[in-house]
A and B are shown apart, each in its own frame.
Chain A
Amino acid sequence: MVTNNPPGALEGLRVIDQTQVMAGPFCSMLLGDLGAEVIKVEPPEGEYTRQERAIAPGVSASFLALNRNKKSLALDLKTPEGVARLKKLAATADVLVENYRPGVAKRLGVDFEALRQINPRLIYCSISGFGQTGPYASRGGFDLIAQGMSGIMSATGSEGGPPVKVGVPITDLGAGLFAVFGILCALRARKKTGRGQFVDTSLFEAGLALSAWEATEYWYTGQIPKRLGTAHRLNAPYQAFKASDGYFTVGASNTKLWGLFAEMLGLKQLISDPRFADTGKRLENRAELEQLIEQVTAKQTRAHWLERCEKAGIPAGPIYSVAEALADPQAQARNMTWEYDYPGVGRAKSLGNPVKLSRTPARLYRIPPRLGEDNGKIE
């Protein structure tokens, strides 16, 4: 435990975390990072991901990744005693987050209606595959399903290839982010109304909400957004280009940057070429443009081009592996890796918090809990 630090922005907030796997745990972790007291309620055998490819008894890499800054309370909600304990806890809490399939919380007797009787100030957040209402409410939903149904997969990958999804589970994480946002909004409303409320979001809706550009393209042009590899829907050149030793990215998407980029490549003649005269033309003739650019870029290394782009003030960057990304000096300077010792594991690492608050910074208050570590310690 770290002491002698300023309080967190969410200090004093008590959160019951009845979540598993990813979207829910990500949401409650973000609250814990800013000082909320997050109590993870787990079944007697522990949350599902503890055992998934365990690296030490009762703990896996994925569990460690999403459960820092939380306490653990092991409770059997299938017994009346377990439910009674949870209700007692709910009476003291500000927020409850759960990501069961719709219906499960009700069956257990710990749904919003039941708990608001005990604590009208409670903000109860449910994260599910499709939300609590509508024709698919009762379906189970995973990130893959939501990426497919929201349209994201139809816009990801290369034209002609087999379907691909976004490599990171974007609808899980997006739902976790929208849930945090909804909870913090509900906290503000509570200051005025004195009452809690039900906050309901889903992977499917998060996927749609992240499709703002693609929905815009479809509604305004009538064209169905296509898969573009690394390219941009509305701009060119803005994509990965081939160097002699791999790919690098360049975003030379406005007139000024395009001019600088063409000049840097020794392709000044393209600036006045009618095929590439404006953004619309460059977009229309993107394949040709790519070919002409790669004829030049393929002759030198990534490092060469990145250095030239930096000097010329053209936004560009490497395509890092996750290993390289974590080792990059900027990622280090921005404290994107948190380290701690974990019993039975040794040195453990997790991602830092991406938002830097100057007075009340996010920090590691405590390492991920052992199962039931706080049974008997929570009033």
Chain B
Amino acid sequence: MKPLEGIRVIDLTQAMAAPFCTMNLADMGADVIKIEPPGEGEQTRQLGAANKNGHSATFMTMNRGKRGLAVDLKQPEGVEIVRKLAATADVFVQNYRPGVVDRLGLDYQSLHKVNPRLVYCQISGFGNTGPYASRGGYDLIAQGMSGVISVTGDEDGPPAKSGVPLADLSAGLFAAYGVLAALEHRDRTGEGQLVDTSLLEAAMALTVWESAEYWTTGKAPRPVGSAHRNSAPYQALRASDGYFNVGAANDKLFAAFCAAIERKDLLSDPRFSSRSSRLQHRKVLQDEIESVTKKETRAAWLARLEKAGVPAGPINNYAEALADPHALARDMVVDLVHPGAGDIKALGVPVKLSETPGAVERAAPLLGEHTAEILKELCYSESQLKALVSRGVVQ
């Protein structure tokens, strides 16, 4: 048994943030029904460079484990199908720009009337209220406006964002948290509610340290490359063949680190005697350390630091990260069979439940793959289904 078995989720989403939310719910056993327009399907089905046998990789990545229903929301009968589905569902997730679902009659107020127990979640660029509510927003825009870009990158280099779309992905995770909490409330009271989050708010919620620093010092934090705002040495260091990471953030680890690189003299240097003085002299400290570390390879240092119990690690590229023995031991790479693309790989479930674990078992649906099945569950007859198909309401 998976933990969310029996929870039905209507997924009227596209691109990344909201599909990632429902993907995580599907991994944990929810019955997620992905609604797409007939013909071309969701926008990410369009083919880019990343595809296999004519199937878009980005779509397959974010929609694994979901059932596919292709229905035309420009036709009233199509909207009616989604309203019927919403009456049977626990959760409804959408990430259209504010206003679009109102026109369709698929907004929170309308669906609340159909199903007062429904937890309705919307994920947008800026949230459903406030002066920018109607603006479109992307991960990049949210990273810029949340302050994340202002603290990422080289100290003096051009702006850099988080390489992974953290506003999108964390908005999806915050939404999943809101949805599951709202289900707890519903179980107690029978009341559904609206769960409203955004890329901007999600990215801002990740600036915990940075906002604290600003409120305390009055100064806005700057990018620090690979280093830490509050401790040193905690950064990438140069070896003879590239860089490796070391986190020797407290006195005990710093002592162990100095012993491991045979620079115990640094411990008695007044510039490096306390955490605050090390932070203050971070550049000099880095120079002193790198004068030693640059003489040997990354592998040599990592082996030595592991023995010394100092947290350290390589800077893996994705070929290395996805082949790492620990990543494999933790089931972070999963093999799937997609009905069109064949054998594909997917990332695993990062949180392990001992009794009712989630799992990645089914690839993303083909467009309309489960349309007939779902309509039958809604008690549409074979002839009604045929008629809907012939009128282009469903595919």
Interface on A for B, CB 8 Å cutoff?
7, 9-10, 12-13, 22, 26, 30, 34, 52-53, 55, 61-62, 64-66, 129-131, 133-136, 139-142, 144-158, 161-170, 173-175, 177-182, 184-189, 191-193, 195, 197-202, 204-206, 208-221, 224-225, 227-230, 232, 234, 238-240, 247-249, 251, 253-254, 279-280, 283, 310, 313, 315-326, 328-331, 333-334, 336, 348-360
Contact = CB atoms under 8 A, between A and B. Distances in A.
Interface stretch (B67-75, B171-179, B258-266, B378-386): B171-179
Contacts of A215: 61, 318, 322, 345, 347
B184 interface: yes
A155 B181 contact: no
Contacts of B313: 141, 145-146, 148-149
Interface stretch (B44-52, B80-88, B99-107): B44-52
Contact of B319 (A195, A224, A350, A359): A224
* Interface hub of A216, A321, A324 (most chain B Cβ within 10 A): A216
A197 B147 contact: no
Given A249-B144, A315-B135, A319-B144, 9 more contacts: A140-B311, A193-B1, A195-B355, A212-B20, A230-B160, A322-B213, A349-B211, A356-B194, A360-B182
Contacts of A139: 306, 311
B61 A230 contact: no
Contacts of A349: 211, 215
Nearest to A283: B49
B330 interface: yes
B119 to A, nearest CB: 9
Give the size range of B's interface with the partner. Answer: 35 or more
Interface of B: 1-4, 7, 16, 20, 24, 28, 43, 48-52, 57-58, 60-62, 108, 125-132, 135-138, 140-154, 157-166, 169-171, 173-178, 180-185, 187-188, 191, 193-198, 200-202, 204-216, 220-221, 223-226, 228, 230, 234-236, 243-245, 247, 249, 276, 306, 309, 311-322, 324-327, 329-330, 332, 344-345, 347, 349-356, 358
Contact of A253 (B49, B138, B352): B138
Contacts of B147: 320-326
Contacts of B243: 162-163
Contacts, number: 518
B154 A149 contact: no
Give the dominant DSSP class at A's interface. mixed
A149 B321 contact: yes
B127 A162 contact: no
Contacts of B125: 315
B177 to A, nearest CB: 5
A254 B181 CA distance: 35
A157 B145 contact: no
Nearest to A333: B130
A102 B128 CA distance: 42
A232 B200 CA distance: 18
A340 to B, nearest CB: 12
B393 to A, nearest CB: 26
A245 to B, nearest CB: 14
A151 B247 contact: no
Contact of A30 (B149, B177, B309): B177
Given A167-B153, A221-B49, A174 B173 contact: yes
Given A144-B228, A205-B330, A354-B198, A212 B193 contact: no
Contact of B177 (A202, A238, A355): A355
A-B residue pairs, 6 tightest by C-beta: A155-B163, A333-B130, A167-B151, A134-B329, A354-B201, A151-B321
Nearest to A248: B144
Give the dominant DSSP class at B's interface. mixed
A208 B332 CA distance: 8
Contact of B236 (A162, A228, A354): A162
A220 B185 contact: no
Contacts of A206: 350
B152 A166 contact: yes
A65 B173 CA distance: 20
Given A188-B4, A354-B202, A322 B210 contact: yes
A162 B147 CA distance: 22
B185 to A, nearest CB: 4
* Interface hub of B147, B164, B170, B180 (most chain A Cβ within 10 A): B164
30 contacts: A61-B216, A144-B226, A149-B321, A151-B322, A152-B164, A162-B225, A162-B226, A168-B152, A175-B350, A177-B173, A198-B354, A200-B353, A204-B327, A209-B349, A211-B164, A216-B58, A220-B57, A234-B49, A317-B137, A319-B144, A320-B144, A321-B221, A325-B207, A326-B214, A331-B204, A334-B129, A350-B211, A354-B198, A354-B205, A355-B174
A310 B132 CA distance: 10
B8 to A, nearest CB: 13
B204 A336 contact: yes
Nearest to B141: A317
A315 B28 CA distance: 34
B144 A185 contact: no
Contacts of B177: 30, 177, 180-181, 184, 355
B352 A131 contact: yes
A360 B43 CA distance: 34
Nearest to A337: B211
Contacts of A186: 3, 353, 356
Contacts of B210: 167-168, 322
A352 B197 CA distance: 12
A318 B145 contact: yes
Nearest to A55: B216
Contact of B197 (A61, A136, A354): A354
Nearest to B175: A355
B159 A240 contact: yes
Nearest to A31: B181
A142 B256 CA distance: 16
B187 A191 contact: yes
A348 B171 CA distance: 26
A249 to B, nearest CB: 4
Given A185-B4, A185-B28, A216-B50, A134 B347 contact: no
Contacts of A221: 49-50
B106 to A, nearest CB: 17
A323 B352 contact: no
B140 to A, nearest CB: 5
A316 B144 CA distance: 9
Contacts of A62: 208-209, 212, 230
Given A177-B177, A354-B198, A280 B352 contact: no
B181 A230 contact: no
B164 A170 contact: yes
B173 A178 contact: yes
A329 B228 CA distance: 30
Nearest to A349: B215
Contacts of A210: 164, 166, 169
A219 B345 contact: yes
Nearest to A175: B350
